[in-house]
């Protein structure tokens, strides 16, 4: 097998991501070969796409954490960092945070501070 066919095979194996808002499709060869993102290539691409366009690509639904008291909010592609943000914000501010999983995974949860100090 020559080198060109090996490169073509790797490019064919790279996952693809589409965005109907941008009307584009990308193969993730760059994320795999240049950024060494490995099995997190799709996640890395989705986060970069959000940073640069203001929206996630198709089929990417984030975990949403939204403070009910102040304008702080964020979106994550995994539960663990989303839950950490919600618990940390609630603990430091004593605000109630709305914790919403991706639409397919369940219903909204309210996270409150677990440390109340009595004076």
The model's pLDDT over 58-69, given as tens digits with 9 standing for 90+, comes to 999 899 999 999
Residue position matching structure tokens 């795999």: 32
Contacts of 17 (CB under 8 A, 6+ apart): 25, 26, 28, 42, 45, 46, 49, 57, 58
Q: Residue 92 has which token pair?
A: 């430091």
Q: What is the pLDDT of residue 117?
A: 44
Task: For the full predicted model, state whether its pTM sits above 0.85.
Answer: no
Checking if the pLDDT of 1 tops 50, the result is no
CB atoms within 10 A of CB 26: 17
Asked whether 103 and 116 are in contact (CB, 8 A), the reply is no
């Amino acid at each position: 097998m020559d080198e060109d066919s090996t490169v073509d095979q790797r490019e064919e194996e790279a996952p693809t991501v589409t965005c109907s808002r941008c009307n584009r499709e990308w193969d993730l060869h760059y994320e795999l070969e240049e950024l060494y993102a490995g099995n997190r290539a799709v996640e890395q691409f989705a986060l970069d796409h959000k940073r640069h366009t203001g929206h996630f690509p198709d089929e990417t639904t984030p975990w949403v954490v939204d403070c009910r008291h102040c304008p702080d909010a964020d979106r994550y592609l995994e539960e663990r960092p989303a839950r950490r943000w919600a618990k940390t914000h609630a603990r430091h501010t004593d605000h109630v945070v709305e914790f919403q999983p991706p639409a397919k995974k369940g219903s909204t949860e309210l996270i409150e501070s677990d440390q109340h100090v009595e004076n």
